[in-house]
Amino acid sequence: MAMTLNNIVEQGKNGPAMMPIIQGVGRAAIEIAAVLRGAVFRGALGQAGGENVQGEQQQVLDVLSDEIFLEEMRATGFICAVGSEEQENLLIIEEYSHADYLVLVDPLDGSSNLDIDCPVGTIFSIVKRKSPNDQLPDVSDTLQAGRDVLAAGYVLYGPSTMLVCSVGEGVNGYTFNPNTARFESSHPNMTIPATGGYYSVNESNADKWADDMGSKLANLKKETGLGMRYVGAMVADMHRTILKGGIFLYPADSKNVTGKLRLLYEAIPMGFIMEQAGGKSMSSDGVAVLDILPEALHQRVPVYLGANAAVDTLLG
């Protein structure tokens, strides 16, 4: 009997409460994957014409994926609010405003890859509300350090559709099986190799990097001889890093002075996964990603995520 997302119920103290929510993520992933496959025939590629709160051009599929994800979170009945990259403010789910949990999500990460049929992803984390259940949740419920996250993960829309997640008991990968129309275990106990793999960074920014990162990266390359891979979608670059080893980094630079990647729905969930996979998740000034206390829903931070030795060699 194949192991499915139902198995999450047996994973530690958080498993029982997190399983139905992660099953909802799985339903959203199946819907989003189906939309992506046929998008070109629906004229759904390209820009939606608006900008998101990040000031980035919204893709048509960004908006659609956000709607699908929100609807599946609502349908679980366990989520009181969603913080989304595509929404300026916290989205309260009125009929479940008393529920215990909130989800932070980047519904379609790396969507600029869609026009060239390259991998994209969904990134999520789940936290327990701090506010009383008889009050409406608010953004303060989302501003929790990564150490308090109950579960996190990502969906990779590639040649197959994978859902990789952790409830604090290690990292497990599930692949959508079209023969049974469900996610089934394919990569149990994902652990980052201690050596080898690649460094993964947009080196075209090197002349703008802060924190002397150009010299630090040159030293990493000299010390380790790592090759370079960069897909331009965090989910794909992180998935390869966990499977093959190495490090993914997005330093601060003169254009993104506090970094480009978002703390709540990119850095924290991916940092949580990386630590659960036996790696290291650092931001700037020697601070671990999961120790940062968020101050705003769309706050950005520098990230250095990878094997312990690679991160330590880079950052010194």
DSSP lists the bridge partners of residue 73 as: none
User: Which of 131/202 has CB closer to ligand P6P?
Assistant: 202
| DSSP 8-state symbol, 4 | B
Q: Cα–Cα distance between 49 and 34 in angstroms, integer?
A: 23
Q: Which amino acid is at 136?
A: L
Query: φ, ψ for residue 94 (rounded to 5)?
Result: -50, -50
Taking the complex as a whole, how short is the minimal distance between the CB of residue 260 and ligand P6P, in angstroms?
6
Using CB under 6 A as the binding rule, the residues of this chain from 167 to 206 that contact ligand P6P are: 202
Taking the complex as a whole, how short is the minimal distance between the CB of residue 265 and ligand P6P, in angstroms?
10
Separation in Å, CA 133 to CA 80, 137, 143, 313: 9, 8, 17, 46
Q: Which amino acid is at 244?
A: K
User: Which of 162/233 has CB closer to ligand P6P?
Assistant: 233
Count of positions on this chain that bind ligand P6P (CB under 6 A): 10
Site string for ligand P6P, 71-110 (x = CB under 6 A): --------------------------------------xx
Q: Cα–Cα distance between 251 and 260 in angstroms, integer?
A: 8
> Tokens standing for 215?
């010299």
Should residue 246 be labelled a site residue for ligand P6P when binding is judged by CB under 6 A? no
Beta strands in 23-114 (DSSP E): 47-51, 57-59, 79-84, 91-92, 101-109
User: Which of 106/141 has CB closer to ligand P6P?
Assistant: 106
Taking the complex as a whole, how short is the minimal distance between the CB of residue 305 and ligand P6P, in angstroms?
11
User: Which of 76/281 has CB closer to ligand P6P?
Assistant: 281
Taking the complex as a whole, how short is the minimal distance between the CB of residue 250 and ligand P6P, in angstroms?
6
Site string for ligand P6P, 257-276 (x = CB under 6 A): ---xx---------------
User: Which of 90/235 has CB closer to ligand P6P?
Assistant: 235
Which positions ≥6 away from 4 have C-beta within 8 Å?
A: 174, 182, 183, 184, 185
> Tokens standing for 60?
């048509």
> Tokens standing for 38?
């046929």
User: Which of 66/109 has CB closer to ligand P6P?
Assistant: 109
Taking the complex as a whole, how short is the minimal distance between the CB of residue 180 and ligand P6P, in angstroms?
30
Using CB under 6 A as the binding rule, the residues of this chain from 224 to 243 that contact ligand P6P are: 232-234, 237
Query: φ, ψ for residue 302 (rounded to 5)?
Result: -75, 150
Binding site for ligand P6P (CB under 6 A): 109-110, 112, 202, 232-234, 237, 260-261
